[in-house]
Chain A
Amino acid sequence: MKNGRTFIKRVVLDYWPYWVGGVLLGILNTLLACFDKPWGITGNIAQWGLAVCRAAGGQPETWFYVWDEPLKLNFAELLFSRGTVINLGVIMGVMLAAVLAAEFRVKKVKSARQLALGIAGGLLMGYGARLALGCNIGGLVNGIASQSLHGWVFGLFLILGAWAGSMFMKYLVSKNGN
């Protein structure tokens, strides 16, 4: 089974080492910071949620919040806002890299359990990111990089949450017959 090693050379080493990715993301993040603010993701997703909420008759504009970019609740305005352009750009950039390598594939939902975990995880992430004012990138990386205390506090408690989640996942897999 030695040709496993040759396979790495042919395809998997085409993947860039993590540190190269880290350095490049840091440079791109700095470029974004030249345009007003460093990289952030969830603030924009929250604004889409609020826009839907307002379209359904809610009044989210009256809720107190610290926004990282101006609150836009009109779908057309939101589509061509900085946050949406970055988020959609990330999705399309990933897709571009995948199709160029002929690795793109529509991946079906595996099981009801996976779907339930995904929705629960999404809800917790959305709620948590809004309380903490940022996600891994906007809160942790850029909080620390901007020398804001909240980045360090967020990171510390993030580790706690990730530990609990890891133990939970380990328990689920050990219990499941799969």
Chain B
Amino acid sequence: MKKNRQKRLSLGVIGFITAFGLAAFVADKRLLVIWGIGIALGFVLYRSGICFASAFRDVFLFRDFSMTRMVIILTGVSFVGIGIIQAIAASRGLPVTGRIYPVGFHTAVGGVLFGFGMVLAGGCASGTLQRIGEGFILFLTVLLGIAAGSVLGVYHFSWWVNSFFSTDAVFIPDFIGWIPGLVLTPVLLGGLYLVTVAIEKRKR
């Protein structure tokens, strides 16, 4: 019905995707795969209307937990995938991969600031990229804000780490063992999922 209305724009976008993909391939073959995954991520984000800020904000404003459940599902699927990769690495005696970083007072402060900021701006980091792709001029300035804030954050990082409590990365299975770790995360995620369903039911 309205499929052809933005045909020329579509051709332009496909042209850019192809051209950058070729350039990335010349720079490093693996980058072409990464480029493809990035495009697919963006496509899925748009088609399914995903917004991470909504997962936390709409809970308070509209008692809407539907996006919160999406985040829990995404985390669960990623847990399975990354868990398999980690297990393969561990069985070969390689260091455990993933995003395992130091934790401390700076994590708490960062969480509060990030949470507040994403509600003010109307989108978190992925939301900002998404909205730039949808044509929001506003989010170009949000992106500049993130970059500028990041520079300050990196500059101050050592002060936060040295002045307040901070510890090395805590990989949970190192402390409670592999099997309990593999049980704990799904139980917590599943519990949170059920809590969101229960709260929504009670409101009706």
Interface residues of A (CB under 8 A from B): 10, 14-42, 45-46, 48-50, 52-53, 60, 63-66, 68, 80, 82, 85-110, 114-115, 117-151, 153-170
A125/B34 contact (C-beta < 8 A), A22-B74, A94-B46, A117-B121 known: no
Residues of chain A within 8 A of B138, CB atoms compared: 107, 109-110, 114-115, 118
| Chain A CB within 10 Å, residue with most, of B2, B119, B130, B152 | B119
A170 to B122, CA, bound (A): 13
A162 to B158, CA, bound (A): 26
Residues of chain A within 8 A of B84, CB atoms compared: 30
Contact between chains at B111 and A122 (CB < 8 Å): no
> What's the least CB distance linking B5 to chain A, in Å?
4
Interface of A, helix, strand, loop or mixed by DSSP:
helix
Contact between chains at A85 and B42 (CB < 8 Å): no
> What's the least CB distance linking A106 to chain B, in Å?
5
What sequence of 0s and 1s flags, for each residue 124-161 of chain B, a beta carbon within 8 Å of any chain A beta carbon? 11101110111111110111111111111111111011
Contact between chains at A97 and B41 (CB < 8 Å): no
Contact between chains at B40 and A28 (CB < 8 Å): yes
A89/B121 contact (C-beta < 8 A), A25-B45, A26-B77 known: no
Known: A80-B28, A137-B126, A162-B57. 6 other contacts (CB 8 A): A18-B73, A26-B80, A85-B24, A91-B133, A120-B145, A136-B114
A150 to B111, CA, bound (A): 10
> What's the least CB distance linking A75 to chain B, in Å?
13
Q: Does B48 contact A (CB under 8 A)?
A: yes
> What's the least CB distance linking B143 to chain A, in Å?
7
5 smallest CB-CB distances across A and B, nearest first, come from A89-B38, A122-B145, A93-B42, A161-B115, A126-B149
Contact between chains at A46 and B147 (CB < 8 Å): yes
Residues of chain B within 8 A of A34, CB atoms compared: 85
Residues of chain A within 8 A of B27, CB atoms compared: 80
User: Of B155, B170, B189, which one neighbours A148 at CB under 8 angstroms?
Assistant: B170
What are 28 A-to-B residue pairs whose CB atoms are below 8 Å? A16-B44, A25-B74, A26-B80, A30-B84, A31-B37, A50-B151, A53-B151, A65-B157, A86-B34, A87-B129, A93-B40, A102-B4, A121-B122, A122-B128, A125-B124, A126-B145, A127-B152, A129-B125, A139-B101, A143-B100, A143-B101, A145-B75, A145-B78, A147-B83, A150-B169, A153-B107, A164-B112, A169-B119
Contact between chains at A20 and B48 (CB < 8 Å): yes
Contact between chains at A158 and B145 (CB < 8 Å): no
